[in-house]
Amino acid sequence: MTKLECLEEELKEVQSMTNEEVMNRYNADSKEEIIQLIKEDIIIEKDKESDEDQGMDYDALCYSQGLSRYC
């Protein structure tokens, strides 16, 4: 299971918990605070996944494979 999948599962779990359960489990002031933090972590993780191939020299990769050019 990827980190993103774990975060999405955690979000579902927290959303189904009562405010008191969330406050006790996460030592937080409110359920909404934790939900917002998890959502921010999900956004960060999605950005990381979409940026995984940043910095790749596609022209060099295509050249090494005998292709004319990366489009």
Could you read off the pLDDT of 7-31 as tens digits, one per residue? 999 999 999 999 999 999 999 999 9
Domain extent, residue 25, equals 3-64
Nearby residues of 26 by Cβ (< 8 Å), 6 or more positions away: 34
- Determine the pLDDT at residue 43: 92
Token pair, residue 54, equals: 């940043």
Find out whether 21 and 33 touch, Cβ atoms under 8 Å.
no
Q: What is the CA radius of gyration of the chain?
A: 20
**For residue 69, is it within any domain?**
no
Domain count, the chain: 1
Is 71 domain-assigned? no
Better-scored residue on pLDDT, 58 or 13: 13
**In-domain check, residue 10:** yes
In percent, the amount of the chain with pLDDT more than 70 equals: 85
State the angle between helix axes of 31-50 and 19-26 in degrees (0 to 180), rounded to the nearest 10.
70
Question: Is pLDDT at 70 greater than 60 in this prediction?
Answer: no
Q: What is the mean pLDDT of the chain?
A: 86
